[in-house]
Amino acid sequence: MNKILYAPWRADYISGQKIKGCVFCHISTHSQEDEALHVLYRDDHCFIVMNRYPYTPGHFMIIPHQHTDSLEALPETVWLQMSALAQKGVRMLKEGFGAQGVNLGMNLGKAGGAGIAEHIHLHLVPRWERDTNFITAIGETRVYSTDFERIYKKMLGLVPDFID
């Protein structure tokens, strides 16, 4: 018997408007669209945006405005700001969002596993004990247990207390 998993939020991924060029550069230069693009924060060096196709609820990324695929070429001031935001972001996920742990990671280059290899970005993935199950490992499918827009609004509300 075949089972069907319905994931209506993925329809936007399949049929939605495609951004031409680098999606992160588009987000960087379109601050007037922050809500639609799910931006949580921005400053002169980088911005924080929700991952539209997250591993777990609350998964976001810290991204430099500078378009580069090379961490080693990133100006030290930008990297230091990304690192400071990562510390604040972890605190926000733990204290404000209730995460029991957090995975931080950068996949550098296509060979390193980057889905968007041309523009570096740092993932912050909130974790809870037993937040994965057989369907992830065996079925190669993730079950996202809550509404993305609700999570975005909750995270956006936390930003003034933890990031600003």
**104-140 confidence digits (pLDDT tens):** 999 999 999 998 999 999 999 999 887 765 545 445 5
Tell me which amino acid residue 106 is.
M
Residues 60/51, Cβ–Cβ less than 8 Å: yes
pTM assigned to the model: 0.82
Residues 38/51, Cβ–Cβ less than 8 Å: no
Q: Report, as an integer, the average pLDDT of 96-104.
A: 95
Residue 38: active-site member: no
Which tens digits make up the pLDDT trace of 46-97? 999 999 888 889 999 999 999 999 999 999 999 999 999 999 999 999 999 9
Query: Which pLDDT belongs to residue 14?
Result: 46
Question: Which is the catalytic residue, given 38, 59, 119, 121?
Answer: 121
Nearest alpha carbon to residue 93 among 53, 62, 137, 138 = 62
List the domains of the chain with CATH numbers: 8-162 (3.30.428.10)
Which tens digits make up the pLDDT trace of 2-46? 555 445 545 554 455 677 889 999 999 999 999 999 999 999 999
Give the DSSP H/E element, type plus range, for residue 84.
helix 76-91
> 128: which 2 tokens?
């809870």
